[in-house]
Each structure stands twice: as C-alpha cells, then as structure tokens.
Amino acid sequence: MKKRLLGIPVLLILALVGIPLVAFAYLVLTFTGTVTVAESVTTTSPLTWAASAYPGGTDVHSITLHNNSPAPVDVTLIATVLPAGQGVTAVLSTALLTIPSTGPANATFTVTTTVTGSAAPGSYVTTVTVSR
C-alpha cells in the first residue's frame, strides 16, 4: 500500500510540472516584413523629345530601354498621335521587344513620326506606351 501512496504524489507532481511545459510548446512567434517589387524596366533615353517636321517630312527618334532584372523581360510597345486623324502618324520599329538580362541589358527601338502633305500646321503629341 505504501508503494501506491508514494506513486500518486509523484504522478501529481509530474502532471503539474508537465502542464506548463506543454503550454510553452504552443508558443507561436509571427514575423512580418514588407517586400517591394520594383519595376525592372527603365530607360536610358530622355522621357520627352521635341522635333520639327514639314508636311511630307519625317522624324525618327530612338529609345533605349534597360532591364534591371536577372531575367529577360518582354515588353509590348504602342505608339499613338494626338490629335488623331490629322495626317500625322507614328510607326514603331517593332511592337514586341525582349530586353536581355545580360551583356548590356539594353534594347533599342525607333519611333518614326510621318507628316503627310495635307497635315495642318500645329502641335502633335506622339506617345509611346511600354507595357509588360
């Protein structure tokens, strides 16, 4: 009988000591951080340009894009002229461009603005949109 009575207090002590140990096993730490993804395509060319052309003339402008990413980047190019339908058009040398990630990580394209003989004098804005 003495052995049984001695075993019960030992079990109770072990049970009381074991409860806090189990509670610490469920402690959870949470770490949070902010990751900002930067645009990898930049330009080494000025963002604006000015040119003069007479009716029947053209203006050719080169634009160089740079890739800061460790992987090649594909971009789509779109050119528009405003006001539209006035005899001034813009044509790109390509509509799709892959900017490499090595070597010089640059790719260059041209935008050719053509003025027809019937274009009215005035200011026209050629816009090139680069999107991924």
Residue 24 belongs to some domain of the structure:
no
Angle at CA of residue 43, ends 80 and 67, nearest 5°: 115
Residue 1 belongs to some domain of the structure:
no
Q: Give mean pLDDT, residues 61-74.
A: 94
57 contacts 117 by C-beta, under 8 angstroms: no
pLDDT of residue 37: 83
Amino acid at 10: V
Residue 79 belongs to some domain of the structure:
yes
Mean pLDDT lowest for which of 6-10, 14-18, 19-23, 104-108? 19-23
* Domain extent at residue 60: 41-131
Reported confidence tier of residue 16, pLDDT bands at 50, 70, 90: low
CATH number of the domain where residue 115 is located: 2.60.40
Q: What is the pTM of this model?
A: 0.72
Domain count, the chain: 1
Residue 15 belongs to some domain of the structure:
no
pLDDT of residue 109: 96
Residue 104 belongs to some domain of the structure:
yes
